[in-house]
A and B are shown apart, each in its own frame.
Chain A
Amino acid sequence: MTAQPPDPDAQFAAAPERPQILAPPPQRSRGMAMLIEHPTLWIGLALLVLVTLMAILAPLIAPHDPAALNPAFRVKPPSAEAWFGTDMLGRDIFSRTVYGARVSLIVGAGVAVCASIFGLAIGVLSGFLRWADNIVMRVMDGLMSIPAILLAIALMTLMRGGSVFNVILAITIAEIPRVARLTRSVVLSVREQPYVEAGTACGTSTLGIIWRHIMPNTLAPLTVQATYICASAMITEAILSFIGAGMPSSVPSWGNIMAEGRALWQVKPSIVFFPAIFLSVTVLAVNLLGDGLRDAVDPRLAKQV
C-alpha cells in the first residue's frame, strides 16, 4: 500500500472570492473617458472635424469656382444664388470662404508641426549642451522681444511675395522660441531626476536618455502647446493677409477675403463678417481642444489656469 502523494495544491489555501461589495467599475477605453470627462475636448474636436471636412470636400461643397469672376454680379448681398453674397469682382463669397478653410488649416497645422519639431530640437540641444545654452537662449530672447506679428511681417517682406510655404516659415520662426523654452525647462527639470541619474550611471547613452526619459515628459506639454500655436498661427495668417503681407491676393484665404471687403465694410459688411465668423469658430475649436487636452493630460495645470 503506497501512501497517496499529498495533493500539491492542498497546502495552499485558495484565495476567497472577492466579496461583491462594489460593482466593478465600468471598463471604458481611456480615450472615451477623456472625452466624457472633458467636454471642451470633444466640442473642440467636433468643430474641428467639421471644418476639416469642409476644407477637404471644398470642391463638392462650393457651388462656384472661388476664383470665377462675374462682373455683372458684383457686390451683391446674400441671396439664394450666392449664399454669402459676392465681392467687388463678383466672386462668390460662400465658395471663397469654404476654400479659405484649406489655407487656415494648412497654415495652422504646418506651423504647429514645424515649430514643435524645431523648437523641440533647439530646446533639447540647449538643455543638454551647457555651452550652447547661453547663446541659443539669448537668440530666443531676441526673437521673443520682437512682437510676433512684426517679426512675421519683417520675414514676409524679406521673402517678397507670399506663398503658403513662406507664410508657414515666417510664423514658424516667430513661434519657435516658445516651444524651445518649454522644452528646455522640461529637460532641465527631468535631467535632475534620480531615475535619469540612475540611467546615466548605468551607462545609458545621452541619446538613449533623451529618447526614453526626456521625450515622454515633453510630449504632453508640447502637444498642448502645439494646439495653442496652431490657433495663434491661424490668427497671424489672417492678420498678415488682412494687412497685405500674407497670402497672394489670388488665394482665397479668410484674411484675404476680409482684406478685399475692408473698403466696403460700412455698406456691405457681409464680405467681412462671413469669413470672420468661420475664422473665429475655427480658432475657438482649436483653443477648446487645447484647453481640453491640457486638463486631460495635466490636472495640475487645469487648476492653475
Chain B
Amino acid sequence: MSAYILRRILSTIPVVLFVMIFVFSLLYLAPGDPAAILAGDQATQEDIEAIRNQLGLDRSFPVRFVEWAGGVLRGDFGTSIFTREPVTGMILQRVEPTVSLMVVTLAIALVIAIPMGVAAAWKRGSLLDRAIMLFAVLGFSVPVFVVGYVLAWTLALKLGWLPVQGYQPIAEGILPWLRSLILPAATLSGVYIALIARITRATMLEILQQDYIRTARAKGAAGHTVLYVHALRNALVPIVTVVGLGVALMISGAVVIETVFALPGLGRLTVESILRRDYPVIQAIILIFSFVYVIINLLIDLSYTLIDPRIRY
C-alpha cells in the first residue's frame, strides 16, 4: 500500500520535470531579449549587458535552468517584463477569482451531471435518455464562449437577473460573490456536465446488469435505494477519474470565460500576458496550472482505495 503510494508519487517526477523543461525552453527560446526590454528605450549597450549579467542571462542553458527551477521550487517565478513586478505577486492577486470559478463550476457540474447520468441509465432508450445524450453532444460541440455570450445576453442583459460582467471578492459577502459567479460557472460547467453525465450513464449501465443489483431488487429494496446506494456507490471510481481529467477542460475554459465575463483571474492574466508578450507570466501560469492538474490527478489516483475498499495495491 505505502509502496504503491510512494511509487505513484515518484512517477509524477518525470512528468513534472518534463513540464518544467518544456516551460523553461519556452522562455529561453522566446523571441525578444528580456534584458533589452527591462533596460528600457534609453539604455546603452553597457546597461543591457549589465542587466543581462545581473539576471544571469549570459550563462548556459543547464545553469539557467537549474537556477530557474530552484527559484520556482521556492515560489519565485522571476520578474514580469511588462510591469517589472515579481510574477509571484501578480499571480497571487489573481488566484481568488479563478479558484472561486472552478469550485462553483465543479459544484454545479456534479449536482447536475450525476443525477442526469443516473436517470439516463435508469430509463435507458427512453426519450429522457435521448434528450440527456443530445445535451451531452451539444455540450461538447458548442464552444464555451458561445454559451457564455448567449447566457450573458439573455439572463443578464435582457432579463437583468444577474450581473453581466465583473467579480465580487468573497470578502464582500457570500451572496454577491455567488451572484457574480453563477453565469460564468454555469457556462463553464457545460462541457464538464456533458463529460460526467456520459461516464455516469455508461458506468451505471454496466453496473445495473450486475447480479447484486438484481439481488437488491429481489429482496425488495426501493428503486432509488438500489440506484443511489447500491449502483452509484460502485460507479464512483470512473466518475471521480473523469472529474479529475476534466480539470484540464476547466482550466482551458477558464482562460476564455474570464475574458468573456471580465473576471480578474489567472485566465484573464494569461490573455493579457499574451497580448503584452510577457513570457515570464505566461510561463508561470502554464507551470502552475499543469502542477495543479498533475497533483489533482495524483490525489484522485491515491483516493481509489478510500472510494472502493476492494481496490488494494
Binding site for B on A (CB under 8 A): 138-139, 141-143, 145-151, 153-154, 157-158, 160, 231, 235, 238-239, 242-245, 258, 262, 265-266, 269, 272-273, 276, 279-280, 283-284, 287-288, 291, 303-305
Contacts and interface: CB of A to CB of B under 8 A. Distances in A.
Interface stretch (B12-20, B53-61, B171-179, B180-188): B12-20
Given A147-B293, A272-B149, A154 B26 contact: yes
A287 B140 contact: yes
Nearest to A153: B274
A150 B142 contact: no
B143 A239 contact: yes
Given A147-B252, A150-B255, A157-B282, A280 B142 contact: yes
Given A142-B18, A147-B293, A265 B256 contact: no
Interface residues of B, number: 51
Contacts of B14: 138, 141-142
A304 B17 CA distance: 36
Contacts of B279: 157
B282 A280 contact: no
B138 interface: yes
B31 interface: yes
Contact of A231 (B31, B140, B205): B140
A243 B142 contact: no
Given A142-B18, A239-B255, 4 more contacts: A150-B286, A154-B23, A239-B144, A258-B145
A65 to B, nearest CB: 27
Interface in B125-177: 137-138, 140-146, 149-150, 153, 157, 164
A265 B259 CA distance: 13
Contacts of A303: 205
A146 B294 CA distance: 9
Contacts of A287: 137, 140-141
A148 B293 contact: no
A235 B141 CA distance: 8
- Interface core residue of A143, A243, A245, A276 (most chain B CB under 10 Å): A243
Interface string B240-265: 00000000110110011001100000
Given A158-B30, A239-B145, A283-B142, A288 B137 contact: yes
B98 interface: no
A284 B22 contact: no
Nearest to B248: A147
A187 B239 CA distance: 27
Contacts of B143: 235, 238-239, 276, 279-280, 283
Contact of B26 (A158, A242, A243, A272): A158
Contacts of B142: 280, 283-284
Contacts of B293: 145-147
The 10 closest A-B pairs by CB, nearest first: A142-B18, A149-B252, A284-B141, A276-B146, A147-B248, A147-B251, A283-B141, A280-B142, A243-B271, A138-B14
A270 to B, nearest CB: 11
Nearest to A235: B143
A142 B17 CA distance: 8
B274 A243 contact: yes
A153 B15 CA distance: 20
Contacts of B22: 142-143, 146, 154
A138 B164 CA distance: 43
12 contacts: A143-B18, A147-B290, A148-B252, A150-B251, A151-B286, A231-B140, A231-B141, A242-B256, A243-B255, A276-B150, A280-B146, A283-B143
B15 A265 contact: no
